[in-house]
Amino acid sequence: MEHYSFRAVAKIAAISVLMFTGQATAQEAGILSATTGESGQKTEEVSTEQMRRIVADGSSVILDTRPRSEFVNGHIPGANNLSASPSDLAEAVGQLVSGDKAKSLILYCNGPFCQASRRVSDLLLAAGFTNVRRYQLGMPIWRSLGGPTVVEIEGVARVYKQDHTAVFLDARSTEEFAKGSLPRALHLTAEQAKSVQGSPMPLDDFNTRIVVFGRGAEQARALAAALSIRPWHNVAYYPGKFEDLEAVLRTP
């Protein structure tokens, strides 16, 4: 029997979703450039490839339209989450863009069948915003294709206390790790991640939740990026300082 890594399986799943919506090809380049291709929508879609560029260059304001309880557990880097009620949402977005209703906005939620980004995009159009697009493939496809995911400190705390299968990786130096880390943390640097084959990485379930942290965002993201091209699929990094994370997680 032929065996596939979890990353390969994830890509196959992504292809399946996109084929269902009529837009997939068998090549990875086709996956990255695909959208749901749905008809009758008032707002244009962006592909995963376009979303990666937007995250990298900051050319648009990214809006995560999911509830904050989901946002803190994992979101696209640079995304903004608005806790306003539907009646106040347009005003909140207006404040975010300093009143510039022509500002480029990219909305996303929980994938092709999630309605949140569609509803919010229609609301913003009705309020006079003129440059609204959606990454309708959303978080499921972003993750499955290796997109970096940020977890907020509230999300780390929830995972740490409730998910005892999760793996916490300390990206700091060997010397810093030896001086003290989180009680359950294991040590792995970005350089080591390029060739790691076993411990501290799980081999029995490549979808195990993995939370990465370091001295700060740059170090944590470097490790997460190194793991994004390995088979482990469910990786998120904490963008804050280690001392802040330690203070929260060591509090009874």
| Confidence tier at 146 by pLDDT (50, 70, 90) | confident
More confident residue, 243 or 228: 243
pLDDT one-digit tens code per residue, 173-195: 999 999 999 989 999 999 999 99
131: DSSP letter: -
Distance of CA 24 to the CA centre of its chain: 22
Question: What separation, in Å, do the N-terminal and C-terminal C-alpha atoms of the chain show?
Answer: 49
The count of other CB atoms within 10 Å of the CB of residue 17 is 20
pLDDT exceeds 80 at position 19? no
Domains of the chain: 6-144 (3.40.250.10), 153-249 (3.40.250.10)
Query: For the whole model, what pTM was predicted?
Result: 0.85
Count helices and strands (H / E) in the chain. Answer: 12, 9
The pLDDT value recorded for residue 252 is: 64
pLDDT one-digit tens code per residue, 21-43: 444 444 455 889 999 988 889 99
C-alpha to C-alpha distance for 89 and 67, rounded to whole angstroms: 13
* The length of the chain, given as a count of residues: 252
Q: Within 13 Å and on the Cβ side, how many CA atoms surround 223?
A: 29
pLDDT one-digit tens code per residue, 185-228: 999 999 999 999 999 999 999 989 999 999 999 999 999 999 98
Average pLDDT (67-82) is 95
**Residue 64, beta-bridge partner list:** 81, 108
pLDDT exceeds 80 at position 129? yes
Backbone angles phi, psi at 77, to 5 degrees: -55, 135
More confident residue, 138 or 86: 138
C-alpha to C-alpha distance for 5 and 210, rounded to whole angstroms: 17
**Residue 44, beta-bridge partner list:** 133
C-alpha to C-alpha distance for 207 and 18, rounded to whole angstroms: 21
